[in-house]
Structures are given as C-alpha cells and as structure tokens.
Structure 1
C-alpha cells in the first residue's frame, strides 16, 4: 500500500468529519451567540436560557440534516469497502 493512498484516505475522512461536525455545531454556536447577546443586553443571567435554544436548534438540525449525514457516511464507507482490492493490491 502506497503512503500517498493512505494519506488521501485519511484526508478525505478527516474532511468528511469536519464538514459533518461543523454542519451540526455552527447553528448551535450561532444560537448561543444570539442568546448571549440578548442576555448581555437585558442583564438576564439564567443558565437555562442559553442552553434550551441551543439544544432545540441542534435537535432540529439533526432531524433536518440527518438523512444527508447518513448518506455521506454510507457513501464514504461504501467507496472505502469497494476500493479495498485496489488499495491493497
């Protein structure tokens, strides 16, 4: 097995992980920022006020992007298993 092939597989897998995790985390981070600005403007220091909107938005994003995430993971795994003879030989 060529080291370049291993690095290419590692790079594609790492890129896929970064895209999938960022698609889940960015909306929650934006919601947290909006709630934090609201809390700073109104001087409300309630911890659940910052947690609940992020939680609801993250669940919504998981429900909305879940099929796409699953498709990306299965496509990558299928390509990986399909190319095993080429990678080894």
Structure 2
C-alpha cells in the first residue's frame, strides 16, 4: 500500500465525517443562534437555556438524517472492504 493510497483513503474518510456531521452541526448552530437572539431580546442571562433545545433538535435531526448518514457510511465501508485485497496486497 502506497502513501498516496493511504492519503486518498484518509481524505475520503475526513470528507465523509464532515459530510455526515454537517446536518447536526448546522441544526445546532441555528438553534443556538435563535435561542441567543431570544435571550438578548428578553434580557434572560441563563447560560444553560440553550442546551435542552439544542439536544432535542440534534436528536430530531439524527432521526431525520440518520438513514442518509448510515447509507453514506456503509457505502464507504463497503468500498473499503471491497478493495481490501488491493490495499493489503499492493
């Protein structure tokens, strides 16, 4: 296995991690922004107020995007295992 092959697999894995985690991170960012604006408007200075809405929304986004996320991960793993002979033998 060459250094280029390892770098290619690493690049694909890192891109997959970013692609799969992006929906949850964006939901968390948007909910945090909305709650922060609400806190600013109402002058509530409670630091823990954002946790419960974020957890609920991230959980809902995992339910919504879970099938797509698992499919993307399984496709990557299937590709890796299919080409395992090339990696181990070369």
TM-score (norm 1): 0.91
Q: What is the distance in 1 between the residues matched to 2:10 and 2:49? A: 40
Q: Which residue of 1 is the match for residue 31 of structure 2?
A: 31
Q: What is the distance in 2 between the residues matched to 1:51 and 1:84? A: 42
Runs of 4+ in 1 over 2 A off after TM superposition: 45-49
Q: What is the distance in 1 between the residues matched to 2:41 and 2:29? A: 18
Q: Which residue of 2 is the match for residue 43 of structure 1?
A: 43
Across the aligned residues of Structure 1 and Structure 2, the Cα RMSD in angstroms comes to: 1.2
Q: Which residue of 2 is the match for residue 18 of structure 1?
A: 18
Q: Which residue of 2 is the match for residue 4 of structure 1?
A: 4
Q: What is the distance in 2 between the residues matched to 1:3 and 1:55? A: 40
Stretches of structure 1 that go unaligned for 5 or more consecutive residues are none
Q: Which residue of 2 is the match for residue 52 of structure 1?
A: 52
Higher relative contact order (CA 8 A, sep 6+): 2
Q: What is the distance in 2 between the residues matched to 1:51 and 1:4? A: 42
User: How many residues align structurally?
Assistant: 89
Q: Which residue of 1 is the match for residue 73 of structure 2?
A: 73
Deviating more after overlay: 56-65 vs 20-29: 20-29
Stretches of structure 2 that go unaligned for 5 or more consecutive residues are none
Secondary structure of the equivalent of 2:53? Answer: helix
